[in-house]
Amino acid sequence: MLDGKCVFCGIIRGDIPAAKVYEDEKMCVFKDLEPKAAVHLLAVPKTHFKLLEEMGDSEREILAYMLGKIPQIARQNGCDNGYRLIINQGDDAGQTVFHLHIHILGGEKLGEM
Ligand code: 5GP
Ligand code: ZN
């Protein structure tokens, strides 16, 4: 379920320190170490998937679960006027941590995409 070499698995286990803002049995949300916006959170499933394409039909249910939780978590952490979700996939997107994660960006007016 968790990967011994993965930094986000280390955060989930509690071996690597992180500013966690939400946690339940399925997911964890913590502050990005190098924030790219006034609020920059990372939401991760508590199962190690590198990429969306690795997930089976039943495993993908975690994504709907996370998307259901994110609005309240975002609001409680300073995104009360909107926010942006980003999932980087692979090298062209600049993915650096290969444990599936949803970036939550907000707390200020974000640049246009
Ligand atoms: P990616 O580029 O893979 O979509 O995003 C990875 C994100 O993880 C980056 O925004 C980076 O700042 C963040 N990050 C990398 N290592 C750590 C860490 O050890 N702790 C925390 N809190 N964030 C990290
Ligand atoms: Zn992992």
| Per-residue pLDDT, 50 | 97
Q: Whose CA is nearest to atom 2 of ligand 1?
A: 95
Which ligand 1 atom is nearest residue 98's CA? 3
The pLDDT assigned to 7 comes to: 98
Rounded to the nearest angstrom, the distance between the alpha carbon of 8 and the centre of ligand 1 is 8
Can you tell me the distance from the alpha carbon of 100 to that of 35, in angstroms, rounded to the nearest whole number? 18
pTM summary value = 0.98
Is 7 near ligand 1, meaning CB less than 6 Å away? yes
| Nearest atom of ligand 1 to the alpha carbon of 16 | 19
**Whether residue 18 has its Cβ less than 6 Å from ligand 1:** yes
Written as tens digits, the pLDDT of the chain (113 aa) is 889 899 999 999 999 999 999 999 999 999 999 999 999 999 999 999 999 999 999 999 999 999 999 999 999 999 999 999 999 999 999 999 999 999 999 999 999 99
- How many Å apart are CA 104 and CA 10, to the nearest integer? 20
Residue 84 three-state SS: strand
- State the pairing for strand pair 27-31/39-45: antiparallel
Please report the pLDDT score of residue 16 as a whole number. Answer: 97
User: What pLDDT does 79 receive?
Assistant: 98
